[in-house]
Amino acid sequence: MGNYLDNSVKYVPGVGEARAKLLEKELGIITIGDLLRHYPFRYVDRTKIYPIAEVNESMDSALVQIRARVTGVAYAGTGRSQRFSAFVSDSSGSAELTWFRGIKWIEKSIEVGREYLIFGRPSFFRGELQMAHPELDLVEKALNRPVQSALQGIYPSTEKIASSFGAKGFYKIITNAWSIAREHIEESLPESLRQHYGLLSLREAMFNIHFPQSAEMQKRAEQRLKFDELLGVQLSIQTLRSDRLSKNNGFLFPRVGELFNTFFNDKIPFALTSAQKRVIKEIRQDTVSGYQMNRLLQGDVGSGKTMVALMSMLLAVDNGFQACMMAPTEILARQHFATISRQTEGMNLRVAILTGSSKTAERRRALEGIASGEVDILIGTHALIEDNVRFANLGYVVIDEQHRFGVEQRARLWTKNQQPPHILVMTATPIPRTLAMTLYGDLDVSVIDELPPGRQPIRTYHYYDSARLKLWGFLRKQIEAGRQVYVVYPLIKESETMDYKDLEDGFESIVRDFPLPDYRVTVCHGKMKPQDKEESMRQFKEHEADILVATSVIEVGVDVPNATVMVIESAERFGLSQLHQLRGRVGRGGEQSFCILMSGEKLSREARQRLQAMCETSDGFRLAELDLKLRGAGDINGTQQSGVAFDLKIANPTLDAELLATAREAAIAVLSADPQLEHPDHRMLKALRARHSAGRKFDLSIIS
C-alpha cells in the first residue's frame, strides 16, 4: 500500500520538476514526506517588530524585523558589480537595503512610498543600519497571511536553494506541502505508547514544528519528532541484533594452534598489555560461541590495535579459515602489510596485499591465492570488496578505522560467503560511553583502555601564525636531536585546488626558510601517484627524510616511532577527532613528543574551544564527547550533516541522551511482544523501522 507522503515532492504546488531535482540534489529531499521532515533549525519571532533606532550592532547575527516606508531607490555600479538600494525610514530612523542579485525582480516589486515589513540580518556602515537581501512584505499583505504562527521557522538551506526559492519561497512550499499532506499523515505510534510517554500526535507535532502555535508547542513537537527518529533507529538496531543472535551460524575457532603459539612464544616483539590480552580473550570467546561475532574494538591512537588484529587473524588461520584486513587508505594497507609480513617472517603463513593500485603480478598473486586457498591473510583497501575477489574460505574480517566505511560496504563483505565471517571493526575514535551501547546496539564493544608502557604524554601547544619563527627554532632543535617531524595541511573537499596550493606553498616555504640545507624534506598528498606516495612514506619511515609535509592522508594509522613532532597548519580548520587522530601519529616511541597547532589570529569561538581542548587533554573519550557537542549544536547547515549518524534530522543522540534511553526501552518492549512487528497496530512502526534501517544513509561518520 503506497503512502501518500512517499509521492514525489514535485507534486507540491510551487515545486515542479526542475525544483524537485534541485531539492534532491541540494538537500536530499525526494518525497513529500522528506520535505515535511525538513525541519527548521531555528525560529524567529515574526510578531516582534523593531523600531529602526533600536536595532543595534549586538544583533548582527540575528534576523530582525522592522516596519518602514520606502523613501527612494538607487542604482550603483555596472555589470556584475551592479547593485540596487532602497532607502527606508520609520519614525525612529532610516536604513538602507541592498541587493546584488535578482535586481530586476526586486526593483519591480518595490514601490516608493509604501510601507513594508522588512526582515533580514542587520549590519552597520558608519552607524547606519543596512540589510543585504532582506525579505520584504507589504504590510497589508503580511497581516493577512493564511498560515500564521508567531514563530517562523528558518530552514537549513544551501546557496542554490536560497537563490531558487528565496527564504520566503521555501517557507511557501512547506506551507503548500502541509496543506496537501496534512490529511495523509498517519500516526506512527500505537496509542498506548503515545499515552505512556505523553507525546503529541504526529500530525500535531508536524504542524507545530513548522508553524509553532507557541514556544511550548514547538518544544513538544520537537520531543515527539525526536522520539520517532530515535525509536526508528532503536527498532532497527535491536532487530539486527536479534536476527544475528537467532541464527546461530557463526564459524567455530576452537583451536589455539601452531601459528598463534609460535607467534606468541617466539615472534611477538613485546609483552602484550593486559588490555590487549583481555580483548583477545573476548574475541576467543565470541569465536567459540556459535554466533557470528560483530565486535567493535575501540582503542585510542597508539594503543596497539594492530597486534590484536594480527593475533586474532592467526587464530582464524589456525582453524582452517582465511582472514582479511581492510584499511581505509593505500598507505595504511601497505603499512599493515609490511608490519605483519615482517612480524610473521619465517612462519608458515602466506600474506598477500591487494589495493586499487596493485600491479598485475601483485593482483594476480592475491586473487589467485585467495581463491585457491593458498593465501591465508589478505590485506588491502576497498579493493577487497570488489566482486572479483573470491575467497576460498573466508572466516574472519578485520576492518581498521571503521568510521571510514559505510555499513553497506561492510555488508558486502559478509555476502562473500554463504555463512557470514566474524567481523572485528577497529576504531581509534572513541564513541562516548553513553552512546556506544545505545547507538551501536548491534555491535559488541571491546575497549583497549591502556597504552603500551613507557609512553610519555604528548605535549600540545597552540601557536598563532605570528610565532612561526619560534616554531622553526623548535623544529631545528628536534631535528638536530635526530627526531623527525610531520607538518600537516588541511584538505577540504570543496576547495581542493586552493588547499593543494597551501600545501605546496607550505612545502616551498619550509624548504626555503629552513636555514640548514641538509634537512631533508619529503611530501605526500592524495593527488600524488600511489608509487610516489609510497616512496615518500618509505623515505620518512627509513629516516631518509627529516620532515614529512602532508595533507591529512596520513591521519590514520601511520606508524613512525622516531617522529616526535606533529605540526598542524591551519589547525582551526580541522575537527577535534581529526586533530586527535593526527596527534596520535607521534608519541609512539620512548621520546617526549609534541603537537603544535598553528592557527590564524582570528578564530571562531568554537575553533578556540577545540584548540584549547586539544592542549588540555589527550583523553580521546573526552574529546569525542566534546566534539559531538560542538558539532551537534553547530550543525545547522543542511549540506553538512557531520553530526548525524543515522538518517537523523532532528534528534542528536548526544544532546538527547535521555530521550534515546527512553526510545531504546520502548523499542525493546515493543519487539519483545512482537518481534516481527506484525500486529496491525505496529504497521507504521514497521515503516519507521524500515526508514531507519541500515543501508539507507547509515553513515558512521559521526565518529570520524
Residue 309 CB, shortest distance to ligand ADP, in Å, is 8
* Interacting residue with Mg ion among 156, 369, 395, 557 (CB under 5 A): 557
319 forms part of the interface with ligand ADP (CB under 6 A): no
699 forms part of the interface with ligand ADP (CB under 6 A): no
Instruction: Compute CA distances 308 → 275, 280, 303, 325, 400, whole Å.
Output: 10, 6, 10, 12, 11
304 forms part of the interface with ligand ADP (CB under 6 A): yes
Is the CB of 314 or the CB of 630 nearer to ligand ADP?
A: 314
587 forms part of the interface with Mg ion (CB under 5 A): no
Instruction: Compute CA distances 71 → 113, 301, 546, whole Å.
Output: 6, 64, 67
The interface partner of residue 460, options being ligand ADP, Mg ion, none and the CB cut-off 5 to 8 Å by kind, is none
* Interacting residue with ligand ADP among 229, 282, 546, 559 (CB under 6 A): 559
Is the CB of 32 or the CB of 309 nearer to ligand ADP?
A: 309
Interface with Mg ion by CB under 5 A: which range of 173-181, 281-289, 415-423, 551-559? 551-559
C-alpha cell recorded at residue 644? 548525524
Instruction: Compute CA distances 185 → 6, 199, 217, 254, whole Å.
Output: 11, 16, 18, 54
Interface with ligand ADP by CB under 6 A: which range of 22-30, 268-276, 482-490, 668-676? 268-276
C-alpha cell recorded at residue 637? 547547515
Number of residues in contact with Mg ion under rule CB under 5 A: 1
588 forms part of the interface with ligand ADP (CB under 6 A): yes
Strand order through the sheet with 394-400: 351-354, 377-380, 322-326, 394-400, 422-427, 294-299, 444-448
Residue 539 CB, shortest distance to ligand ADP, in Å, is 19
432 forms part of the interface with ligand ADP (CB under 6 A): no
**Please, are residues 217 and 199 in contact by the beta-carbon 8 Å criterion?**
no
Question: Among 441, 446, 410, 423, which residue's Cα sits nearest to residue 240?
Answer: 441
Kind and range of the H or E run holding 678: none
**Number of residue whose CB is nearest Mg ion:** 557
Tell me the per-residue interface mask from 440 to 479 with ligand ADP, x by CB under 6 A, - otherwise.
------------x---------------------------
The interface partner of residue 220, options being Mg ion, ligand ADP, none and the CB cut-off 5 to 8 Å by kind, is none
The interface partner of residue 312, options being ligand ADP, Mg ion, none and the CB cut-off 5 to 8 Å by kind, is none
* Interacting residue with ligand ADP among 27, 237, 307, 485 (CB under 6 A): 307
- Strand-pair partners of 446: 297
- Measured distance CA(287)–CA(295) in Å, rounded: 11
Is the CB of 305 or the CB of 692 nearer to Mg ion?
A: 305
- Measured distance CA(113)–CA(104) in Å, rounded: 19
- Measured distance CA(577)–CA(629) in Å, rounded: 12
Residue 253 CB, shortest distance to ligand ADP, in Å, is 22
- Measured distance CA(603)–CA(552) in Å, rounded: 21
226 forms part of the interface with ligand ADP (CB under 6 A): no
299 forms part of the interface with ligand ADP (CB under 6 A): yes
| DSSP-derived pairing of the beta strands 377-380 and 351-354 | parallel
Residue 297 CB, shortest distance to Mg ion, in Å, is 10
Tell me the per-residue interface mask from 504 to 543 with ligand ADP, x by CB under 6 A, - otherwise.
----------------------------------------
344 forms part of the interface with ligand ADP (CB under 6 A): no
C-alpha cell recorded at residue 106? 526586486
The interface partner of residue 561, options being Mg ion, ligand ADP, none and the CB cut-off 5 to 8 Å by kind, is ligand ADP
Question: Among 583, 580, 526, 568, which residue's Cα sits nearest to residue 330?
Answer: 526
Is the CB of 561 or the CB of 575 nearer to ligand ADP?
A: 561
**Alpha-carbon 404 to chain mean position:** 9
**Number of residue whose CB is nearest ligand ADP:** 304
Is the CB of 308 or the CB of 645 nearer to Mg ion?
A: 308
Query: The cell 500500500 sits on which residue?
Result: 1
328 forms part of the interface with Mg ion (CB under 5 A): no
Is the CB of 189 or the CB of 563 nearer to Mg ion?
A: 563
Interface with ligand ADP by CB under 6 A: which range of 31-39, 302-310, 618-626, 646-654? 302-310
C-alpha cell recorded at residue 166? 528565496
Q: Rounding to the nearest 10 degrees, give the CA dihedral for residues 18, 24, 27, 33.
A: 110
Residue 695's region, left for phi above 0, alpha for psi from -120 to 50, else beta, is left
The interface partner of residue 307, options being ligand ADP, Mg ion, none and the CB cut-off 5 to 8 Å by kind, is ligand ADP
302 forms part of the interface with ligand ADP (CB under 6 A): yes
C-alpha cell recorded at residue 264? 606468541
- Measured distance CA(128)–CA(275) in Å, rounded: 64
Is the CB of 303 or the CB of 358 nearer to ligand ADP?
A: 303
**Please, are residues 412 and 285 in contact by the beta-carbon 8 Å criterion?**
no
Give the three-class secondary structure for 74. Answer: strand
- Strand-pair partners of 377: 323, 351
Is the CB of 379 or the CB of 521 nearer to Mg ion?
A: 379
DSSP codes of every residue in 511-576: HHH-S-TT--EEEE-TTS-HHHHHHHHHHHHTTS-SEEEEEGGGSSS---TTEEEEEETTGGGS-H
Is the CB of 490 or the CB of 557 nearer to Mg ion?
A: 557
The interface partner of residue 304, options being Mg ion, ligand ADP, none and the CB cut-off 5 to 8 Å by kind, is ligand ADP
Binding residues for Mg ion, per CB under 5 A? 557
Binding residues for ligand ADP, per CB under 6 A? 270, 272-273, 276, 299, 301-307, 428, 452, 557, 559, 561, 588
